[in-house]
Amino acid sequence: MSEPVHGTWEPTPAARWEDAFLSGNGRHGAMVFGDPDSDRVIVNQHGLVRPNGGENARPPALAAALPELQDRLLAGDTTAGDDFTDGRPLQWVQPFHPAFQVRLRRPAARRHSYRREVDFTTGVVRAECDGWRSDVFVSRADDVVVQYVTEPGLTVDVTLDHRLPGAPRDVSVGHGAVLTPEGALLTLRARYPGGDRAYTGVTLAVVTGGRTRTGLPGIRVAGAGAVLLLTRVRRHTGELDVLAEAGSLRALLPDGDEDPYRRLLDRHTGRHRSAYLRAGLDLDADPDERALPGSELVSLPRSPALVERLFAAGRYHLLSASGMLPPRLTGLWTGEWDTAWSGAFTTDANVNLQTASAAAAALPEVTEAHAALVYGQLPHWRDNARSVFGTRGVVAPAHTDGESGHLHHFSRDYPLHVWTAGADWLLKPLVDHDEVRGARDPRLAAALDEVACFYEDFLTRTDADGHLVVVPSYSPENHPAGSGPVAVNAAMDLSAARHALLTAADYHPGPGAERRRALAARLPPHRINDEGALAEWARDGLRDNYDHRHLSHLYGVWPLDEINPYDTPELAAAAHRALALRGAENDSAHGHLHHALVAARLGDAERVAGALGNVLAGDYFHVSLMSGHYPHRHVYNADAAHTLPAVLIEMLVHSTPGRLVLFPALPTAYPTGRLHGIRTRFGAEIDLDWGPARRTAVVRPARTVRVDLRTSSGARTLQLRAGEDCVLTQGPQ
């Protein structure tokens, strides 16, 4: 019996940058075309953002005008929020962009054989053709892009070239190429206009045999046996000490006869392989379909082999994009300077969906990257709270470039400056991580306290029933039918406020905790509308607008556990009705997969299969198995690629600190399979095995705990003891 493929391959080079195979270490990324005659490796660095004014933008000073806005909204003025602004135009965050491409040109020759592949277990992208071979990976151990090219009598020109699609003319670029005893040194220095911000790429070329000569902008190698290229990119202001950077690259080369490429690869693989192999999915796919190149497999949307490979690719790309920061809208990669939506971190859905599998899929590296973004921006979040709302605590922006956390990206149609639920959503994965590992991060405890402080100051208005009112309130990125988008009591805001206050109380016991629990209890309940659906706004008179890509109002179902079929069946039924009424609007991939995640929590296997099928059959995946934002691979975007593993896990297993749900929403399309290495929020690892006759779960607890077990057979209490495996079985389904 064959096993799932941990990689993908193609019989031709990439003609488009979107089809380039990917490697990354969470700081540097590489996009590999694999063309023997004119090979290109686009180098990305997570922190490369181009100044556009967003770097200096600050949150609007609107706190003094807030009481009047609240009065008008509570009086029923549905357009009151239209002029809650300081008059500024929409200011995008600084756009993410590529550094440059490493170009290798060799004399063209007739091709008799060709293959390129990426190995997910090592992160190595390899291309081979008639004795020529190129291996590329990005080292997790040494933070360097490594390319090793071999061929008898290798003759090749090597250059660094920033001229990728959309490259601005006002970026000043200089090149350098010198020979040193250790190898040729190539540099590319790019300075942004209007200041001293710049970045520099340094490539050390170590040539085996042959002759090497310089000639700007690069070098020519003739008659060699191999070329090893080591590349790094540094952001800086002023001048960079290029010699020091070159010295750090030379220090990676071993003394003596040890193979430098093998040494670099071994150091990297030890870190990457262990992380990637922690979890995996096997759907007993057809061996012949498993052997297909990705370009053919993506045309088989009903193939379990496609789902296996996308699960593997999703974990690989998510791991590779996470380190210095979590994944952007494009992960860690782009091949053009005009990246859609600035290649930002969009926190009202996208980054949260992309990282949704981190805790369960055993990728703490992703959570740590997510934490780096959050904790690095808390001072700016405090500025947002003070400036817009006049409160203590923190308010997160809906868009960030990774540098600034200031809230400045908003407009009349998208009043993201009044969205208050972001901090809770961004901290939720960090709470899950604490639950999985069974320890509490003091940084998280402090951040949760600040979110609760914001709500203590912000929640001051009440309704006729004595309930607190969230005003202003915004449900990203929707608006009530016939009304302006700034409203009252959005369901997401209610869920987030409740969750933030209760979680902070849990992390900080004492008198303050009771005060926060009491405040949470005063928030109004969710509203069920005339159609039996959970209303997006818990305010009479605000009508639902169903055809929308976002499902913000179902935040209480996913990622929270506030609404579920076991504790709140009436609300769960209303949420299910709201999900059924929801349209797909413009078919954004994140909308379909968000739909699937909510459906899985509600136990609707058919709806999970439908949403998943929309993505698998919608031509969302490039040959690289990175995805598009829209059908037909329109707009390079990591949402589908990174979120899909979370959907596949949620349909098979869900956990809370006190509950384990097995096979909640398994589609009939996958009648047999295995899922291993899944982590739970009560401190256990789970392996699942299922087929028509039996379902088995092996639970390996690291902590002694009692949990509520839910299966299709019903409910029972499960007593788990640390270090003792527990095997659970079910009969025919």
CATH number of the CATH domain containing 700? 2.60.40.1180
Average pLDDT over residues 554-567: 98
> Of 309, 287, 311, 314, which Cα lies nearest the Cα of 298?
309
The string of pLDDT tens digits covering residues 284-341 is: 999 999 999 999 999 999 999 999 999 999 999 999 999 999 999 999 999 999 999 9
What six digits make up the tokens of 407? 């809230």
pLDDT greater than 90 at residue 215: no
pLDDT greater than 70 at residue 27: yes
The string of pLDDT tens digits covering residues 463-508 is: 999 999 999 999 999 999 999 999 999 999 999 999 999 999 999 9
Compute the distance between CA of residue 589 and CA of residue 610 in angstroms, rounded to an integer. 13
| Strand duo 695-701 + 726-730: pairing | antiparallel
Is residue 107 very low, low, confident or very high in pLDDT (cuts 50, 70, 90)? Answer: confident
Position 108 scores a pLDDT of: 80
135 burial type by CB count under 10 A (0-12 exposed, 13-18 middle, 19+ buried): buried
pLDDT greater than 90 at residue 193: yes
Residue 166, domain CATH: 2.70.98.50
Average pLDDT over residues 258-266: 96
In a domain, 57, yes or no: no
Average pLDDT over residues 239-264: 93
> Of 500, 557, 566, which Cα lies nearest the Cα of 709?
566
Rounded to the nearest integer, the mean pLDDT of the chain is: 96
Phi, psi torsion values for 516, nearest 5 degrees: -70, -35
Residue 383 domain boundaries: 63-90+322-651
- 284 neighbors 3 (Cβ within 8 angstroms): no
Residue type present at position 289: E
* Residues 592, 708 within the same domain: no
* Residues 45, 69 within the same domain: no
Position 733 scores a pLDDT of: 59
* Residues 45, 68 within the same domain: no
Residue 536, domain CATH: 1.50.10.10
Which range (249-258, 298-307, 549-558, 687-696) has the least confidence?
A: 249-258
* Residues 109, 76 within the same domain: no
- 293 neighbors 625 (Cβ within 8 angstroms): no
Residues 6+ apart with CB under 8 A from 413: 485
Q: How many domains does the chain have?
A: 3
pLDDT greater than 60 at residue 682: yes
Length of the chain measured in residues: 733
* Residues 352, 431 within the same domain: yes
* Residues 217, 177 within the same domain: yes
Average pLDDT over residues 596-614: 98
In a domain, 597, yes or no: yes
Compute the distance between CA of residue 594 and CA of residue 608 in angstroms, rounded to an integer. 10
pLDDT greater than 70 at residue 732: no
- Give the angle subtended at the CA of 59 by the CAs of 54 and 64, to the nearest 5°: 160
Average pLDDT over residues 445-449: 98
- Following CA atoms 267, 273, 275, 277 in sequence, which dihedral angle do they give, to the nearest 10 degrees? -170
* Residues 638, 665 within the same domain: no
- DSSP class per residue in 308-374: HHHHHHHHHHHHHH-SSS--BTTBT--SSSS-GGGG-EETTTHHHHHTTTTTTTT-HHHHHHHHHHH
* Residues 402, 465 within the same domain: yes
The string of pLDDT tens digits covering residues 389-433 is: 999 999 999 999 999 999 999 999 999 999 999 999 999 999 999
* Residues 547, 626 within the same domain: yes
Helix (H) or strand (E) run with residue 70 in it: helix 66-74
Position 1 scores a pLDDT of: 57
Q: Which of 651, 677, 696 is the last residue of a domain?
A: 651
In a domain, 618, yes or no: yes
Helix, strand, coil content of the chain in percent (nearest 5): 30, 25, 45
Percent of the chain residues past pLDDT 90, beyond the cut: 96
- 659 neighbors 41 (Cβ within 8 angstroms): no
Position 110 scores a pLDDT of: 77
In a domain, 707, yes or no: yes
Position 221 scores a pLDDT of: 96
Residues β-bridged to residue 199: 190, 235
Is residue 256 very low, low, confident or very high in pLDDT (cuts 50, 70, 90)? Answer: confident
In a domain, 294, yes or no: no
Average pLDDT over residues 76-105: 96
* Residues 164, 41 within the same domain: yes
Position 596 scores a pLDDT of: 98
In a domain, 311, yes or no: no
Average pLDDT over residues 578-585: 96
Q: Which of 597, 629, 651 is the last residue of a domain?
A: 651
* Residues 475, 343 within the same domain: yes
* Residues 684, 598 within the same domain: no
| For helices 491-507 and 442-458, angle between their N-to-C axes, nearest 10 degrees | 130
In a domain, 685, yes or no: yes
pLDDT greater than 90 at residue 601: yes
Position 129 scores a pLDDT of: 95
In a domain, 225, yes or no: yes
The string of pLDDT tens digits covering residues 150-171 is: 999 999 999 999 999 999 999 9
Phi, psi torsion values for 360, nearest 5 degrees: -70, -35
Compute the distance between CA of residue 327 and CA of residue 356 in angstroms, rounded to an integer. 12
Q: Which of 281, 307, 333 is the last residue of a domain?
A: 281
Is residue 109 very low, low, confident or very high in pLDDT (cuts 50, 70, 90)? Answer: confident
